[in-house]
Chain A
Amino acid sequence: MTNRRKRKALGLLFEALCVLAAGIAILVLALILYYVFRRGIAVVNFSFLTSLPAPVGVAGGGIGNALIGSLLMVGLGALIAVPVCIAAAVFLDQNPASKLSAFVRFATRVLSGVPSMVIGLFVFGQLVLRTGNYSALAGGIALSIVMAPIITLSAEEMLRLVPSSQREASMALGATKQQTVFRLVLPGAAGGLIVGVMLAVALAAGQTAPVLLTALTSRFWLESLQQPTASLPVLIYHYATSPFADWQAHAWGAALVLVVAILVLNVTAQLFLGLSNRRR
């Protein structure tokens, strides 16, 4: 009897602790959102989103080129990473036990643990130093490496969720391996794959180090992929550490835009996941 009561009390205690921990995690997020909104909302308007940054002491100015630069580089990164990583995930799914699969899985996990600064340095050394120029292209490549492990690992998980009974049914009906992958496995896991990509994009959008080392920054409009390119995290980094009140205000504004964009991506990803789960 006492034993049962003790167990019940212990259970309640742990439940309370868990709720508390969850509450703290949510509180931190809420505080960040509240703080960024309060400090940033004052400067965000249409002209802030569409104009070039202004120098110190000049009124106005915005983050237009950084917004475009970030969108472009993240898009470029996704364009490079998504096909390669999904293909890798299909390989892992089709050959789950092969030696190569084990190696690919290991390499991907290691890559996911590599600090983004090191990825930036790698692209800087291999591309920027060799071509002698910072560029949006280098930035996109660096971000694709940042995204790669997340997309690969999540895609593999999502593909594995497609029931083997369905695959066997497909094979039994005489479909080839190729047909099974393209007509059954990939469409079945589409929702989950998109979620993984979105989360990777959201993560890449907030990266400073790989972009700073490869795309540098720019105070002008983007004209080609071969030029130094502005991005939101680098702009925030520069403005937030400056001693000028107007730049600091712009850093808050840019932070708000970035946080909202990432939040929207995450929420959309969650909705997608919910939708695809319900369909199944």
Chain B
Amino acid sequence: MKKQSLLTRVLAVLACLVTLVSLLPAMAQADTRPITIEFNARELRGDVAPQIIGGRTMVPMRLIFEALGAEVTWNDATQTVVGRQGNVTISLTIGNRNATVGGRAVALDQPAQIFAGRTMVPVRFIAESLGATVEWDDARRIVRITSAAQSRMRSPVTSELRMTTGGASFPFPLYTRLITEYAAVTNPRVQIEYASVGSGAGIRGILARTFDFAGSDAPMTAAQQAQVWPNEVLHIPTVMGAVAVVYNLGGIGSGLRLTPGALADIYLGRVTHWNDPSIRLLNPTLSLPDQRITLVRRSDSSGTTFIFTNYLSKVSPTWRTDVGEGTTVRWPGTTIGGAGNAGVAAQVSQLPGAIGYVELSTAVQSRLSMAHMQNRAGNFIAPSVEAASAAAIIMEDASFMTHPTDSIAHTAYPIVGITWILVYRDQENEAKARATVDFLRWAVVERNLEPFAAELHYSPLPETGINRVRRLLQSITFGGQPVWR
């Protein structure tokens, strides 16, 4: 008896344990922890808590309909709820498994029902019928609803962010447009300030870290890069633009033909009059006046000057040895300065016989006459968005780190520059890193800048350039981890 009783006791304990263990999952199923409803990452709270009934999460009807921006009407006679959002109408009747969505009948697992004095409706059914997506987080018991409008938004950061950037004035109009558009497609919103202070100030800003990223038309020098070692400043190309050679010759409109040699000779001060044989020979049909050529240049440190002198250095050995390239140079001839593209345009339009160089959008907006430049293939090309794009189809420099001036492409305009966004490869702030990468991905890689670029006379990058940008963005890191997802 005693032996048996010991065995019985052991068995009894075992039986108890087994029962307990087998009961555990059942207990887990009867989880009574509250359910949270999140709508576009914000908690939705009603006067009656969400309930799980028959495996379906039910919520007060007004809560979910109103969050989704639907109008709710209650018909007391037929006990029917009707929700209307745009052209979608949902109707549910209390206790009836048959609902209708936009006139079609839909069978429900759980009908709408009264609970604690409130009409409860199945949350997933309502949200999905109105175009939202619904996720269930089992561990934390959260129903996550994302509205259709929100799922089209980008969310690179978890809370609103402002970034300070600035630099090159050449892409300023485009960047302000992009920044406004980008703020409208991000939630939480990312607001980027871009100050048009010039390429030189942009580079100084990124070196001093007063700018989160900078715009520049001139690449950083090796000495400047050395200052940030072992970090590195990446040059991310965004758009290209033509630099137009503009002139004021009274009745002569756009279309004066110039060869690289003639342009270099004019700016070297070797050709001093418009009726010089070298210009007349190129333009036999024009009656060129016996007028002095007035050279106009940028008085400020300028990316446009860099592109222009970079071109002249490529086409004229004399220019390369005597003047060289830079954002400011020692001009060999007698020149008149103008501040900014607008300043040069104003000087040229006021001085008869003047010649100058401005970016294409300024030339178009100021209605200046533009020269047709002879390219390397020998064709005379008018500056245009298309002719600037053509310059980059055959990039001799696959890194997109130099300006595609004097392109070998047949239809290319020869004086074309790239503008860059300068970004640290290793970032210091995670949110800013994510926003920077996402902004540039949205603008350049996903080509959202292209419609605005054409409108403002900038040329989008060719496919090879976009691939280069993707690789550069993928190499940006925060804490050793790539930021690109």
Q: Which residues of A contact B (CB under 8 A)?
A: 53-58, 128-129, 132-134, 212, 216-220, 223, 227-228, 238, 240-245, 247
Query: Does A219 contact B345, Cβ atoms closer than 8 Å?
Result: no
Contacts of A217 in B (CB 8 A): 193, 195
Given A132, A240, A245, A247, which contacts B210 in the complex, CB threshold below 8 Å? A132
Query: Does A242 contact B208, Cβ atoms closer than 8 Å?
Result: no
**B286 contacts the other chain (Cβ, under 8 Å)?**
no
**B39 contacts the other chain (Cβ, under 8 Å)?**
no
Query: Does B195 contact A241, Cβ atoms closer than 8 Å?
Result: no
Given B180, B208, B342, which contacts A243 in the complex, CB threshold below 8 Å? B342
**B191 contacts the other chain (Cβ, under 8 Å)?**
yes
- Using CB atoms, name the residue of chain A closest to B209: A132
Nearest-Cβ distance from residue A215 to partner chain B, whole angstroms: 10
**B365 contacts the other chain (Cβ, under 8 Å)?**
yes
**B361 contacts the other chain (Cβ, under 8 Å)?**
yes
Q: Which 9 A-B pairs have the closest CB atoms?
A: A55-B177, A243-B362, A243-B365, A56-B173, A55-B176, A241-B340, A241-B342, A216-B195, A55-B180
Query: Does B173 contact A228, Cβ atoms closer than 8 Å?
Result: no
Nearest-Cβ distance from residue B104 to partner chain A, whole angstroms: 41
Query: Does B452 contact A57, Cβ atoms closer than 8 Å?
Result: yes
**B162 contacts the other chain (Cβ, under 8 Å)?**
yes
**B179 contacts the other chain (Cβ, under 8 Å)?**
yes
- Using CB atoms, name the residue of chain A closest to B343: A241
| Docked CA distance A185–B248 (Å) | 65
Contacts of A134 in B (CB 8 A): 164, 210
Nearest-Cβ distance from residue B392 to partner chain A, whole angstroms: 23
**B366 contacts the other chain (Cβ, under 8 Å)?**
yes
Given A58, A133, A247, which contacts B180 in the complex, CB threshold below 8 Å? A58
Given B195, B365, B455, which contacts A228 in the complex, CB threshold below 8 Å? B195
Q: A55-B173, A212-B197, A242-B173 are in contact. List 20 more A-B contacts (CB 8 A).
A: A54-B180, A56-B456, A57-B177, A57-B456, A58-B177, A58-B180, A128-B210, A129-B208, A129-B210, A132-B209, A134-B210, A216-B166, A216-B197, A218-B193, A219-B179, A219-B180, A220-B183, A241-B341, A241-B342, A247-B173
Nearest-Cβ distance from residue A101 to partner chain B, whole angstroms: 39
Given A58, A133, A240, A242, which contacts B164 in the complex, CB threshold below 8 Å? A133
12 contacts between A and B (CB under 8 A): A53-B176, A55-B180, A129-B210, A134-B210, A216-B164, A216-B195, A220-B183, A220-B191, A228-B195, A241-B339, A241-B343, A242-B342
**B196 contacts the other chain (Cβ, under 8 Å)?**
yes
**B172 contacts the other chain (Cβ, under 8 Å)?**
yes
| Docked CA distance A263–B339 (Å) | 29
Contacts of A218 in B (CB 8 A): 193
| Docked CA distance A219–B184 (Å) | 13
Contacts of A57 in B (CB 8 A): 177, 452, 455-456
Contacts of B342 in A (CB 8 A): 240-243
Nearest-Cβ distance from residue B180 to partner chain A, whole angstroms: 5
Contacts of A223 in B (CB 8 A): 162
Contacts of A241 in B (CB 8 A): 169, 339-343
Nearest-Cβ distance from residue B189 to partner chain A, whole angstroms: 9
Q: Interface size bucket, B side?
A: 20 to 34
Nearest-Cβ distance from residue A69 to partner chain B, whole angstroms: 12
Contacts of A133 in B (CB 8 A): 164, 210
- Using CB atoms, name the residue of chain A closest to B166: A216
Nearest-Cβ distance from residue B103 to partner chain A, whole angstroms: 40
Contacts of B362 in A (CB 8 A): 243
| Docked CA distance A134–B166 (Å) | 11
Query: Does B173 contact A216, Cβ atoms closer than 8 Å?
Result: no
Nearest-Cβ distance from residue B448 to partner chain A, whole angstroms: 14
Contact with A along B194-216 (1 / 0, CB 8 A): 11110000000000111000000
Nearest-Cβ distance from residue B152 to partner chain A, whole angstroms: 20
Contacts of B361 in A (CB 8 A): 243-244
Query: Does A216 contact B193, Cβ atoms closer than 8 Å?
Result: yes
Query: Does B365 contact A227, Cβ atoms closer than 8 Å?
Result: no
Contacts of B334-353 to chain A: CB distance below 8 A: 339-343, 345
Nearest-Cβ distance from residue A177 to partner chain B, whole angstroms: 47
| Docked CA distance A9–B81 (Å) | 100
- Using CB atoms, name the residue of chain A closest to B160: A223
| Docked CA distance A219–B195 (Å) | 9
Query: Does A243 contact B345, Cβ atoms closer than 8 Å?
Result: yes
Most buried by B among A55, A129, A245: A55
| Docked CA distance A57–B345 (Å) | 21
Contacts of A242 in B (CB 8 A): 172-173, 342
Given B180, B193, B345, B365, which contacts A244 in the complex, CB threshold below 8 Å? B365
Contacts of B195 in A (CB 8 A): 216-217, 228
Nearest-Cβ distance from residue A234 to partner chain B, whole angstroms: 8
Contacts of A243 in B (CB 8 A): 173, 341-342, 345, 361-362, 365-366
Query: Does A56 contact B177, Cβ atoms closer than 8 Å?
Result: yes
Contact with A along B145-168 (1 / 0, CB 8 A): 000000000000000001010100
Contacts of B162 in A (CB 8 A): 220, 223, 227
Query: Does A245 contact B365, Cβ atoms closer than 8 Å?
Result: yes
- Using CB atoms, name the residue of chain A closest to B179: A219
- Using CB atoms, name the residue of chain B closest to A224: B162
Contacts of A128 in B (CB 8 A): 210
- Using CB atoms, name the residue of chain A closest to B175: A55
Contacts of B366 in A (CB 8 A): 243
| Docked CA distance A217–B176 (Å) | 12
Contacts of B194 in A (CB 8 A): 219
| Docked CA distance A133–B166 (Å) | 12
- Using CB atoms, name the residue of chain A closest to B360: A243
Contacts of B452 in A (CB 8 A): 57
Contacts of B197 in A (CB 8 A): 212, 216
Given B176, B183, B340, which contacts A56 in the complex, CB threshold below 8 Å? B176
Nearest-Cβ distance from residue A210 to partner chain B, whole angstroms: 14
| Docked CA distance A258–B337 (Å) | 29
Nearest-Cβ distance from residue B197 to partner chain A, whole angstroms: 8
Contacts of A129 in B (CB 8 A): 208, 210
| Docked CA distance A212–B197 (Å) | 9
| Docked CA distance A219–B342 (Å) | 22
Nearest-Cβ distance from residue A66 to partner chain B, whole angstroms: 13
| Docked CA distance A223–B193 (Å) | 13
Contacts of B208 in A (CB 8 A): 129, 132
| Docked CA distance A58–B180 (Å) | 10
| Docked CA distance A87–B297 (Å) | 50
Contacts of A238 in B (CB 8 A): 172, 196
| Docked CA distance A227–B212 (Å) | 13
Contacts of B340 in A (CB 8 A): 241
- Using CB atoms, name the residue of chain A closest to B204: A129
| Docked CA distance A57–B261 (Å) | 38
Nearest-Cβ distance from residue A34 to partner chain B, whole angstroms: 21
- Using CB atoms, name the residue of chain A closest to B363: A243
Given B193, B339, B345, which contacts A220 in the complex, CB threshold below 8 Å? B193
